[in-house]
Amino acid sequence: MVPQLLVSTLCGGLIGWERERKNKVAGIRTNILICVGSCIFTIASMHLGTMYKSDPGRIMSTIVTGIGFLGAGVIMRDKDKIIGLTTAAFIWVVSAIGILCGLKLVIVPIVITVGLLAVTWFFGKYDKFLM
């Protein structure tokens, strides 16, 4: 359980650091809490599924629902434009990374985190040329 929590903390922290560097609302603490929280709920659902012979996917599906509400809370309308969509998407993906960590898939979340940071960096650098 400790390696899963460490990887989820690392992944959430790296993504949060990138968001905080850009002065976004959901920074290091928020992303770590989302990633670690999703990991803990996933670990708990797997243990409960084993102990009571129940479907662990039931708890994991409620993580997605709860994160949807959390993400919706950061989407705002500012005059003629919508802001916070990228932050909401990050919250959603960070939660998925936490779920993968909770499922003991340690390498996959790291690869996804590195890929997400690379995509964010690329489009941050070159999106003005793509439009």
Note whether 34 and 19 are within 8 A (CB): no
Q: Does the predicted model carry a pTM greater than 0.85?
A: yes
CA 91 vs. chain centroid, Å, equals: 5
**Structure tokens that stand for 108 in this block:** 């996959």
CA 40 vs. chain centroid, Å, equals: 13
Q: Indicate the number of domains in the chain.
A: 1
Report the DSSP pairing between strands 76-78 and 81-83.
antiparallel
**Structure tokens that stand for 68 in this block:** 């949807």
In three-state secondary structure terms, 105 is coil
**Structure tokens that stand for 36 in this block:** 């670690």
Residues with Cβ within 8 Å of 21's Cβ and at least 6 positions away in sequence, in order, are: none
Distance, in Å, from the CA atom of 17 to the CA atom of 13, rounded to the nearest integer, reads 6
Residue 42: which domain range? 2-130
Cβ burial of 24 (10 Å; 0-12, 13-18, 19+) is: middle
Note whether 31 and 10 are within 8 A (CB): no
Q: How would you write the pLDDT of the chain (131 residues) with one tens digit per residue?
A: 899 999 999 999 999 999 999 888 889 999 999 999 999 999 999 998 888 888 888 888 899 999 999 989 999 998 899 989 989 999 999 999 999 999 999 899 999 999 999 999 888 877 777 66
**Widest pairwise Cα distance in the chain:** 55
